[in-house]
């Protein structure tokens, strides 16, 4: 055990969250712009998208509530904010901009919520928490991009709203691997369960039994 893990363990971090049904799936910002390394992508985001395809199929098969998010700013930029001061190119993500569209292989179907947001968290200023609560979700699987940004912000808010986040480690990606790894470690110690897709689906099958 590394010194870091020993320190966290000694201080009481990293307790296991019981995975309680009902389950839901949140797919964060897997849009064309984040799939493209020349726009907002790179790193292991392509692998995260590929790994999320069967996860989404399984969620649909099991009848879980599914929500997707997109970053969408007004055509005239009237809703520009501090986030866009830090990353001005985000203002290019408009409703009809192809870079803001969800990648075709993960396109929503009828009954799945699409959350439009202008900040990292999927919950801040949106109806997502109420939508999940209305459907009874207790454990929320999280996929998407980027691990150190919108994924992390959404996971922290999910926990604060009383959901049990389960970060699907091979279904989240970042344009740089060091922040991806660091944030998976930190979320597992403080806010969430972290499992690979196959580990998560096996564990949830047992919980549903």
Task: List active site positions.
Answer: 150
Q: Which H helix or E strand runs over 145?
A: strand 139-145
Of 48, 11, 58, the C-alpha closest to 3 is: 11
Q: Write the DSSP string, 169-191.
A: EEEEE-SSHHHHHHHHHHHHHHT
Closest CA to 172 of 157, 189, 194, 199: 194
Q: Quick check: 69 and 146 in contact, CB under 8 A?
A: no
Which long-range contacts link 78-86 to residues 24+ away (Cβ below 8 Å)?
Answer: 79/118, 81/118, 81/119, 83/118, 83/119, 83/120, 84/118
Alpha helix ranges (H) inside the chain: 3-10, 32-35, 45-62, 82-86, 128-134, 152-160, 177-190, 197-208
Count of other CB atoms within 10 angstroms of residue 198 = 13
């Amino acid at each position: 055990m590394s010194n870091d893990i020993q320190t966290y363990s000694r201080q009481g971090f990293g307790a296991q969250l019981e995975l309680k049904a009902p389950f839901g799936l949140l797919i964060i910002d897997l849009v064309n712009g984040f799939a493209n390394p020349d726009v907002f992508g790179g790193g292991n985001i392509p692998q995260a998208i590929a790994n999320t395809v069967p996860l989404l199929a399984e969620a649909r098969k099991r009848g879980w509530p599914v929500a997707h998010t997109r970053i969408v700013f007004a055509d005239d930029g009237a809703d520009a904010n501090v986030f866009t001061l830090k990353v001005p190119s985000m203002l290019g993500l408009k409703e009809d901009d192809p870079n803001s569209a969800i990648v075709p292989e993960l396109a929503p179907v009828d009954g799945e919520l699409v959350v439009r947001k202008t900040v990292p968290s999927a919950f801040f200023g949106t109806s997502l928490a109420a939508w999940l609560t209305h459907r009874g979700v207790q454990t929320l699987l999280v996929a998407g991009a980027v691990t150190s940004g919108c994924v992390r912000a959404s996971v922290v808010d999910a926990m604060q709203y009383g959901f049990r986040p389960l970060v699907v480690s091979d279904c989240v990606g970042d344009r740089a691997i060091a922040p991806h790894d660091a944030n998976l470690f930190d979320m597992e110690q403080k806010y969430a369960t972290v499992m690979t897709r196959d580990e998560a689906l096996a564990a949830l099958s047992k919980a549903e039994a």
